[in-house]
Amino acid sequence: MNLDKPLLMLVTSASQMGQGQQTGLWLEEFALPYRIFQDNNVPVVVASPQGGKVPIDPRSVPDDEQKEQWAQAISVLENTRPLEEIWQDGFVGVFVPGGHGAMFDMPDNAMVAGVLERTWAQGGVVSAVCHGPAALVGVRDENGEPLVRNRKVSCFTNEEEKEVGLDEVMPFLLETRLRELGAEIHNKGKFEAQAVTDGRLITGQNPPSSRVTAEAVVQALYSE
């Protein structure tokens, strides 16, 4: 694939859950893939629905070693592009990290669906990890069908949601919603790393899946 176009990393702007708890981006799911993309010479644009500084889920704050390793990725999150400004640009692919924030500002967002549909229609890679697949909920393919229908998908599981005690707080359970849209869910056990590739659709299950999902995206970009 020609990498003269960048990969869009699309991150949440949502800092609050339904009942006022703090949320945001799960940092590992952005920082690890960001480094992998940089190391593999994949040009990256980082955007969020509102632009500007991205809220980080307080439970994903890095330790000192991670802060050092992820310094560049963290600095990029201080000032992201507003999606409105760039959603009609051409991208080689889109990668959507999770964090519970994605459940609140991705599923019903016309511009999120728009950039994903446009990238898909232009032959790009569409990828998401953990709660990132919430961005796929409103996305249609070229036939007007849900993009995930009859495609293999991985995402944060209902079991994992219960384990972290947020199943009652979410607007919906992601695994259930994707099944309802016709996705074939391929998940592993709780908090095991899992990435699933179905053609140009690449999804990962949870934070430990960040690396393998990003590596699958790199492989897809360079094998086209």
Question: By the 8 A CB rule, do 103 and 171 touch?
Answer: yes
- pLDDT reported for residue 2: 57
State yes or no: pLDDT of 224 exceeds 80. no
Question: By the 8 A CB rule, do 80 and 48 touch?
Answer: yes
Rounded alpha-carbon distances, angstroms, from residue 52 to 29, 75, 106, 201: 19, 12, 17, 28
CATH class of 7-223: alpha beta
- pLDDT reported for residue 124: 96
Q: What is the pLDDT of residues 18-66, one digit of tens each?
A: 778 899 999 999 999 999 999 999 999 999 999 999 999 999 999 999 9
% of the chain exceeding 70 in pLDDT = 99
CA distance 131 to 79: 22
The reply to whether the predicted model has a pTM over 0.85 is yes
Q: What is the pLDDT of residues 173-193, one digit of tens each?
A: 999 999 999 999 999 999 999
CA distance 128 to 134: 9
Query: Per-domain residue ranges for the chain?
Result: 7-223
CA distance 181 to 184: 9
